[in-house]
Structure 1
Amino acid sequence: MNEAVCSVGVDVSKRKLDLALLLNNKLKTKVVENSQSGYSQLHQWLLDRGAVIESTHICLEATGPYSESVALALVELGWTVSVVNPARVKGFAQSELSRNKTDALDAALLARFCAAMHPAPWTPPPAEYRELRAWVDRLQALKGIQQQEKNRQEAYDASGQSALVASVQVHLDWLQQQISQLEHDIDDHINRHPGLKHDATLMLSIPGIGDTTVAKVLAYIGDVRRFDSAKALAAFIEVTPRQKQSGSSVRGRTMISRTGHSALRTALYMPGLVALRHNPTLKAFGERLKSNGMAPKAVVGAAMRKLVHLIYGIVKSGVPFDAHFGAKNLDLQDGI
């Protein structure tokens, strides 16, 4: 068969992969296990049906660890892979007026999306970043359980159930021990990798940014230098303002967009509050916005966006935070 550009959609679930190969306007399908042997079958199936590695584009949705393992395996085999935001695929399906949803149909939809939109290829983050993200996710999970247990303990205490209060306290003591150990492991992991340690040191020079926030930024973003600009990084996290205006009647309130990385956006909220008080650059920036009539929550959102710009700037330049340099550029805010 002559070489032709083909698109492949992979719908990922825990146990299986639904494949759809779009080649010469013909669709071919296949189901394999979501395992190392399944990845080998996928590779060989594509080759047997005329897919050429150099001219084939594979798309799958970002679905956490299940999709990442597939993407990593395919990239190692030489295929061009895009891991796309599910919201983009959903919007594409709506544009086609799709009504039904099955794994096979989703795979075919991804193949058509891939052929029409040509999403950017996915580059796997280095192993140290992937490992750090796993540590950070585990830490956040334990902190979530810890807060749940504290809420239960408070309820038991209010109802006078002292035995249950003591039982929960045993679990809380264990959780705190595990959390402290994980925090130590995360710090040790960052210190053992020169690149992570260098970027962490630069970020920590920004007043308002602490160890916890630095670990999340490195884990969820990876190397910030992969973004072309600070605006692109802010858009990835979605700490950018979203306007809603149409004609003469629709004048919606401008507010922060919430379609990006929610965990990282949440992680920047408290640093934004702290920076407005203790970071001289952001303190002056926030006071100026307040004097212009901006709502308090909007000021915090703007401070979060400013922090993202500062993170990008100091890591990209390799120069630690300088309050005097930042103060000169307060008025050069785009979109706030």
Structure 2
Amino acid sequence: MNEAVCSVGVDVSKRKLDLALLLNNKLKTKVVENSQNGYSQLHQWLLDRGAVMESTHICLEATGPYSESVALALVELGWTVSVVNPARVKGFAQSELSRNKTDTLDAALLARFCAAMHPAPWTPPPAEYRELRAWVDRLQALKGIQQQETNRQEAYDASGQSALVASVQVHLDWLQQQISQLEHEIDDHINSHPRLKHDATLMLSIPGIGDTTVAKVLAYIGDVRRFDSAKALAAFIGVTPRQKQSGSSVRGRTMISRTGHSALRHNPTLKAFGERLKSNGMAPKAVVGAAMRKLVHLIYGIVKSGVPFDAHFGAKNLDLQDGI
């Protein structure tokens, strides 16, 4: 990079982007819309203020689809971008004894974090993974509404409001139709992309793992081979012991908690592992947590090796992996 290094913080919200540019110890700020037009304004503002692409580093927090859209646009324009864990930024703020919080101050904090910590550049997931995540996000949203309506229907039924029970049922029927259609679309999407299909087939060879979990893993984690180890993958998902979830979590416990229960029942390797832990006096919830971690290690090993699940191999080799 050139000698004059420029650091930029972008605080992302639904409707706007708060910008902070740190160059030669001078801070400049601006607000633009969170839109394609806003991204163009951001790009031009940086250039007008003396930012050089080859020596500029932009940081923003991981906040789901909003931050990814901004990051993707900036990378496509040629900027170096890091999408950082909010917990890291919070820790940096605490080290600065920074307590005040506004969007502009957050952007300035991100610029200082970027200058001091030099986080790794962000690489956009391939288009097929981004599209899959959009499908899975929509599916999860509808399932959440379905659960809310089911709870509402039960309450109406308990109070004898039969007309409202029938009204909710109409909505539930429609939701189930939409959910089934989305599940079909997700399966078609995975099967139409060789890389997704290959990894899905490997994961589905693991007893206790079904289509829903596979779709979530592919959507929210992407290619597990990008992690240096199974332990690193488990930490990213949030199933390592004593791990606190942050804003950058991929909903790991939600993603595989039910799968952990299922795998304990149906996966011979994990079932034997769980029984051994129970016999050693481990509490039931802790057993499920340990099974979830084992399952993540199993997914990583199978996808990384390209070899489908084998009960004997799994039982023999899982305990050799670090962090279990």
Q: TM-score, normalised by structure 2?
A: 0.91
Shift of residue 85, structure 1, vs aligned partner: 1.6
Q: Structure 1 residues 93 and 210 mapped into 2: Cα distance closer, same or farther (>3 Å)?
A: same
1:56 Cα offset (Å): 1.2
Residues 297 and 318, structure 2, Cα contact 8 Å, conserved in 1:
no
Alpha carbons of structure 1 residues 245 and 181: separation in structure 2 relative to 1, 3 Å = closer
Residue 234 of structure 2 contacts residue 296 of structure 2 at CA under 8 Å; is this kept in 1? yes
Q: Is 2:303 aligned against 1:315?
A: yes
* Maintained 8 Å contact 2:274/2:287: yes
Query: Is the Cα–Cα contact under 8 Å of residues 6 and 55 in structure 1 kept in the other structure?
Result: yes
Do 2:8 and 2:57's aligned partners in 1 also have CA atoms closer than 8 Å? yes
Does structure 2 retain, via aligned residues, the 8 Å contact 1:139–1:182?
yes
TM-superposed CA distance for 1:334, in Å, is 3.8
The separation in 2 between residues aligned to 1:178 and 1:51, in whole angstroms, is 47
Q: CA deviation at 1:194?
A: 0.8
Partner residue, 1:277: 265
Q: Deviations over 1:213-268 (max 9, x none)?
A: 00000000011111111111000011111299999999999999999999xxxxxx
Q: 1:225 to 1:154 in 2, by over 3 A?
A: same
The superposition leaves residues 22-75 of structure 1 with CA deviations (integer Å, 9 ceiling, x where unpaired) of: 111111112222221221221122122222211211000112222111100110
Change (3 A) 1:260 1:34: farther
Give, in whole Å, the separation in 1 of the partners of 2:41 and 2:111: 18
Superposed CA RMSD in Å reads 5.5
CA distance in structure 1 between the aligned counterparts of 2:247 and 2:183, rounded to whole angstroms:
52
Instruction: State whether residues 239 and 258 of structure 1, in contact with CA within 8 Å, keep that contact through their aligned partners in structure 2.
Output: no
Residues 1:56 and 1:95: Cα distance change in structure 2 (over 3 Å): same
Which segment drifts farther, 242-251 or 293-302?
Answer: 242-251
Residue 303 of structure 2 aligns to a residue whose secondary structure is helix
Give how far 1:3 is off.
Answer: 4.7
CA offsets per residue over residues 272-298 of structure 1, 9 Å max, x none? xxx112111111111221222211111
**Whole-Å Cα distance in 1 between the matches of residues 50 and 178 of structure 2?**
51
Asked if 1 retains the 8 angstrom alpha-carbon contact of 2:237 and 2:252, the reply is no
Q: Contact 1:243/1:255 (CA < 8 Å) preserved in 2?
A: no
Q: 1:314 to 1:7 in 2, by over 3 A?
A: same
Structure 1 pair 6/260, CA: closer, same or farther in 2 (3 Å)?
farther
The alpha-carbon deviation at position 118 of structure 1 amounts to 1.3
Q: Which moved more, 1:300-309 or 1:149-158?
A: 149-158
Matching residue of 2:201 = 201
Contact 1:242 1:256 in 2 (8 A): no
> Where does the alignment leave 5 or more consecutive residues of structure 2 unmatched?
none
CA contact (8 A) 1:62 1:86 kept: yes
Match of 1:76 in 2: 76
CA change 1:249–1:21 in 2 (3 A) is closer
CA pair 282-261 structure 1, distance change in 2 beyond 3 A: closer
Change (3 A) 1:29 1:313: same
Kept in 2: contact 1:241–1:335 (CA 8 A)? no
- State whether residues 125 and 222 of structure 2, in contact with CA within 8 Å, keep that contact through their aligned partners in structure 1: yes
Q: What is the count of residue pairs matched by the alignment?
A: 324
Aligned in 2, Cα 1:190/1:330: closer, same or farther, shift over 3 Å?
closer
Provide the C-alpha distance between the structure 2 equivalents of 1:113 and 1:12, rounded to a whole number of angstroms.
Answer: 16
TM-score normalised by L of structure 1: 0.88
Q: 1:143 to 1:259 in 2, by over 3 A?
A: closer
Contact 1:21–1:29 (CA<8 Å) still a contact in 2? yes
For residues 141 and 290 of structure 1, do their structure 2 counterparts lie closer, same or farther at Cα, with a shift above 3 Å needed?
same
Q: CA deviation at 1:93?
A: 1.3
Distance 1:259 1:187 in 2: 19
- The answer (yes or no) to whether the contact 2:261–2:288 under 8 Å persists in 1 is no
Q: Deviations over 1:170-190 (max 9, x none)?
A: 111111111111111111111
Does structure 2 retain, via aligned residues, the 8 Å contact 1:17–1:34? yes
Q: Which runs of 4+ in 1 moved over 2 A?
A: 242-262, 329-336
Look up the SS of the partner of 2:319 in the other structure: coil
Contact 1:236 1:261 in 2 (8 A): no
Change (3 A) 1:122 1:330: closer
SS of the equivalent of 1:330 reads helix
Q: Provide the identity percentage.
A: 98
CA distance in structure 1 between the partners assigned to 2:52 and 2:271 by the alignment: 56
In structure 2, how many angstroms separate the alpha carbons of the residues matched to 1:238 and 1:3?
A: 38
Q: What whole-Å deviation, never above 9, does each CA across 1:78-104 have from its counterpart, x for those lacking one?
A: 111011121221221122111211111
Q: Is the 8 A contact 1:239 1:256 kept in 2?
A: no
- Tell me the equivalent position of 1:14: 14
In structure 1, distance between residues paired with 2:250 and 2:132: 45
Asked whether the equivalents of residues 239 and 252 of structure 2 are also in contact (C-alpha less than 8 Å), the reply is no
**1:256/1:157 Cα in 2 relative to 1: closer, same or farther (>3 Å)?**
closer
**SS of corresponding position for 1:239:** coil
Alpha-carbon distance between aligned partners in 2 of 1:52 and 1:232, rounded to the nearest angstrom: 34
Displacement of 1:335: 3.8
Once residues 247 and 32 of structure 1 are traced to their aligned partners in structure 2, the CA distance between those partners, rounded to angstroms, is: 23
Equivalences for 1:27-42 in 2 at 5 Å? 27-42=27-42
Please tell me whether the aligned partners of residues 82 and 120 of structure 1 are also in contact (alpha carbons under 8 angstroms).
yes
